[in-house]
């Protein structure tokens, strides 16, 4: 099963593709979609959409997952993040790919065992779970963590999370 994880952001949207096969996690690809800061909001949203569509076309995931929007102190920032998240979700959905949603704390708890890990800890654990991975950015590390979380929470045939983690080591 090929899984796409997305970590949406208006400036940078991380993506990560993994396979979950016979109890093993395997890294396929990861990267970051960076938008041009001096363009309009609509143009940046189009860049995100086109970037995610490109990833889906190249890697043909069976399922996708994205982090839920967290509410921060600046409502304008939260709104813009929600818009970036919306177009990132829309890209695989329009191609018939189901999209799961996970709270950031659940992603961290699934990958790290605790819900309040920092970006460096997430990147370290993703590197451990996906040996040999070359991580493009902290955004793509977060996206790989989302994909790993999704793999854990998907009902897989004859596969437990413990088997998947054991296979990655």
Catalytic-labelled residue, pool 67, 68, 118, 136: 67
Catalytic-labelled residue, pool 57, 118, 139, 142: 139
| Whether 139 is catalytic | yes
| Whether 7 is catalytic | yes
Q: What is the 3-state secondary structure (H, E, C) of the chain?
A: CEEEEEECCCCEEEEEEEEEECCEEEEEEEEEEECCCCCCHHHHHHHHHHHHHHHHHHHCCCEEEEECCCCCCCHHHHHHHHHHHHHHHHHHHHCCCCEEEECHHHHHHHHHCCCCCCHHHHHHHHHHHCCCCCCCCHHHHHHHHHHHHHHHHCCCCCCCHHHHHHHHC
Q: Which residues are catalytic?
A: 7, 67, 139
């Amino acid at each position: 099963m090929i899984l796409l994880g997305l970590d949406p952001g208006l400036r940078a949207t991380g993506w990560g593709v993994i396979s979950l096969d016979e109890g093993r996690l395997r890294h396929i690809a990861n990267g970051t979609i960076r938008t041009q800061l001096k363009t309009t909001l609509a143009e940046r949203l189009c860049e995100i959409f086109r970037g995610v569509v490109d990833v889906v076309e190249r890697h043909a995931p069976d399922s996708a997952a994205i982090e839920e929007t967290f509410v921060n102190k600046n409502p304008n920032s939260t709104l813009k993040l929600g818009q970036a998240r919306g177009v990132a979700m829309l890209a695989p959905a329009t191609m018939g790919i189901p999209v799961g949603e996970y709270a950031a704390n659940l992603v961290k708890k699934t990958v790290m065992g605790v819900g309040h890990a920092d970006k460096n800890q997430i990147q370290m654990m993703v590197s451990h779970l996906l040996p040999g991975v070359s991580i493009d950015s902290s955004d793509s590390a977060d996206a790989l963590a989302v994909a790993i979380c999704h793999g854990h929470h998907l009902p897989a045939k004859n596969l437990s999370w413990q088997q998947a983690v054991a296979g990655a080591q």
